[in-house]
A and B are shown apart, each in its own frame.
Chain A
């Protein structure tokens, strides 16, 4: 877990316009964003949480799918950096079909946003919008595809909980992710991020909620929760939507809890002192018991939320450096792909 000594100079440390997914990032780019977030963790613990780096910039949070915590986290992150933040919440149903999504993207673009944060219910939607606008685009969750800032904040939270310094990866750490993997963008981004940082990732779900051929992403697959917990140093629980456990995928919530609920007894089957995470919102008493969720030494759930603001500040600050003409961060030009040619 040797700290990286340095990163490529200037803009080469993060040679992308957008953050659409972890899948597009190299290991050192992930670490760079984590390291950049450290200063904001510090700032956020001060009474004056204001840094005016982004003053004068406009950030639009365009959420085409309902969200409370992620939207709030991005809004706070933008405001603490001094940007003008506006939120656009459009119910998915009203913009589901037709040109509306592209039209909305063009509209946001015409308003000269300096960064757009997007959540959408369809996989690939964020990338589609990114191709149509001229400013950096941050993916706040697209369908079942990716949720990159969640994976970054999870990695930062683990790093802090383990007391690892800036620059460290998570080499050799054994992480078990349990829940509705099939429908989870959090799981996909975390698999990519944790694997890139050197973790051994295990997944646990009933077969109907496990994506086909997910082993190809370099993970171990379990259906038996006890077996999946063996040796786990971090246990990441995912939310299972209520409608999916009323007969569609799972017969009932109590049956799901019986097989996959994380109780204190179950947690004892993991490595001694194993840490517990959950991206929220939780179904207390179903996938996670309150004694586990509120466990002072073991649960990182509120610390994940805290890291979230810092990570989103780091992403917004790094992605707007070209617009702010920071030395060493030349514009990528009017590209549509977001990559350096």
Chain B
């Protein structure tokens, strides 16, 4: 079904760069066809008055663990890359094909193919066949591929296939069973912990292998100053590496672990304050390319446990946009960059013609009130579980309306 042509008027358009501009936006057959003067409404168009709100690309969430449409739609997310850590893992073409269809028509799922069979890190999965089945990129999942030989062969193979490899950067030999970053907080709480340098060790190896093979890697979460320095230097050398992060690591430090709050158990774990500040700086200077939710709704059976026994992860889809907007309010980045991090860059990594308000792009559009206040309430979330460390936190920024391929999502 082709949607009626849509014109959004009275909005401030968030274009790929510059300040938001007041202009109309016209979509036809699910694509953006006109911006500005020639976008004026015509007879038979559906017209939406944005009332001076922002008109932005729908968010593209690079790395979620569950398809949770109500939460994604609440958060202005129109596409998500699904991590292969499913039960069973996305290591078979049929599963990838099924996952790729699972969100349509009002949400697009881009499955990330499991890099290795069963995500065990030992044998390569059928990556070319999974690409045919709809995988837009490859991922090592929550785990680090410990065997450098396997990683080398994986990266050279993916370089040939032209698939981005999304990696998890924690040296598993150093982290062991750790659930926290080594430091005063973990020491006082008696939690198994590992030094933050476990991340830099993994990042250094993966960058070296990417440089060697010419593969493109995206390190899904870079959360420490040392690892960010490595990424920064590699980018300067022209290595094809990008870095992502979730709001938890630029909003919170390991002080949140006091009282054993399992909603603050993440992988990688929360870091010290200096590393948190380094993440904010890296978002500001362009070292970090992607902000994603890591959406992973978990009920009490996974979270109401002693800290070390609880599962990591948070329900992050609804708070992704408002928490990123704190960086705009604080002057770390401008509005255009915020949506580049949330939509433009992840779409480019996935090879999706979306994430930017440009002619010809898919009409995935969010109308956003950037300062509308609301309070996060874990009891009343759209997500299938309310495991957020941001419960009761006042935030600003709310999605007023959302379109997927030019069709309004209610």
Contacts and interface: CB of A to CB of B under 8 A. Distances in A.
Interface of A: 23, 96-99, 101-102, 120, 122-125, 127-128, 142-146, 185, 188, 211-214, 216-217
Contacts of B189: 123-124, 145
B304 A102 contact: yes
Contacts of A143: 190-191, 306, 308
B269 to A, nearest CB: 13
Nearest to B185: A213
13 contacts: A98-B301, A101-B306, A122-B307, A123-B191, A124-B307, A124-B308, A127-B260, A144-B190, A188-B188, A211-B193, A212-B183, A213-B182, A216-B184
Contacts of B183: 212-213
Contacts of A185: 190
B260 A217 contact: no
B301 A128 contact: no
Contacts of B186: 211-212
Contact of B300 (A99, A125, A217): A99
A217 B301 contact: no
A122 B191 CA distance: 8
A214 B187 CA distance: 6
Interface string B161-201: 00000000000000000000011101111111101000000
A99 to B, nearest CB: 6
Nearest to A98: B301
Contacts of B188: 23, 188, 216-217
A124 to B, nearest CB: 3
**Would you list the 4 A-B pairs with minimal beta carbon distance, nearest first?**
A124-B260, A122-B306, A144-B190, A145-B190
Nearest to A211: B187
B406 to A, nearest CB: 45
Nearest to A120: B306
Contacts of A99: 300-301, 304
A124 B258 CA distance: 10
Nearest to A132: B304
B375 interface: no
Interface of B: 182-184, 186-193, 195, 259-260, 300-301, 304-309
A304 to B, nearest CB: 21
Contacts of A97: 305, 309
Contact of B187 (A122, A124, A217): A217
A212 B182 contact: yes
B308 A123 contact: yes
B198 to A, nearest CB: 12
Contact of A122 (B184, B195, B259, B309): B309
A125 B306 contact: yes
A217 to B, nearest CB: 7
Given A120-B306, A127-B259, A217-B184, 16 more contacts: A23-B188, A97-B305, A101-B306, A102-B305, A122-B308, A123-B189, A123-B306, A124-B189, A124-B308, A127-B260, A128-B305, A142-B190, A143-B191, A145-B191, A146-B190, A212-B182
Nearest to B306: A122
A96 B306 CA distance: 10
A145 B195 CA distance: 19
A100 to B, nearest CB: 9
Given A143-B190, A144-B191, A214-B187, A124 B306 contact: yes
A123 to B, nearest CB: 4
A143 B195 CA distance: 20
A90 to B, nearest CB: 14
Contacts of B187: 211-214, 216-217
Nearest to A214: B187
A267 B307 CA distance: 39
A177 B27 CA distance: 72
Contacts of B193: 211-212
A128 B304 contact: yes
A128 to B, nearest CB: 6
A144 B306 CA distance: 12
B226 to A, nearest CB: 15
Contacts of A122: 305-309
A145 B186 CA distance: 9
A231 B105 CA distance: 75
Contacts of A188: 188, 190
B40 to A, nearest CB: 59
A144 to B, nearest CB: 3
A214 B183 CA distance: 8
Most buried by A among B182, B189, B306, B309: B306
Nearest to A189: B190
A128 B182 contact: no
A145 B300 CA distance: 23
A185 B188 CA distance: 10
B190 A96 contact: no
Given A212-B182, A212-B195, A213-B184, A123 B190 contact: yes
Nearest to B302: A98
A99 B306 CA distance: 10
A145 B260 CA distance: 11
A329 to B, nearest CB: 26
Contact of A123 (B182, B195, B307): B307
A36 to B, nearest CB: 27
Contacts of A124: 189, 191, 260, 306-308
A127 B190 CA distance: 13
A241 to B, nearest CB: 15
B175 to A, nearest CB: 14
Contacts of B306: 101, 120, 122-125, 128, 142-143
Most buried by A among B186, B190, B301: B190
A143 B301 CA distance: 20
Q: Counting chain B CB atoms within 10 Å of each CB, which of A23, A128, A142, A146 scores highest?
A: A128
Contacts of B260: 123-124, 127-128
Contacts of A127: 259-260
Contacts of A217: 184, 187-188
Q: Which of B193, B259, B309 has the most CB of A within 10 A?
A: B309
Nearest to B260: A124
Nearest to A185: B190
Contacts of B182: 211-213
A263 B259 CA distance: 40
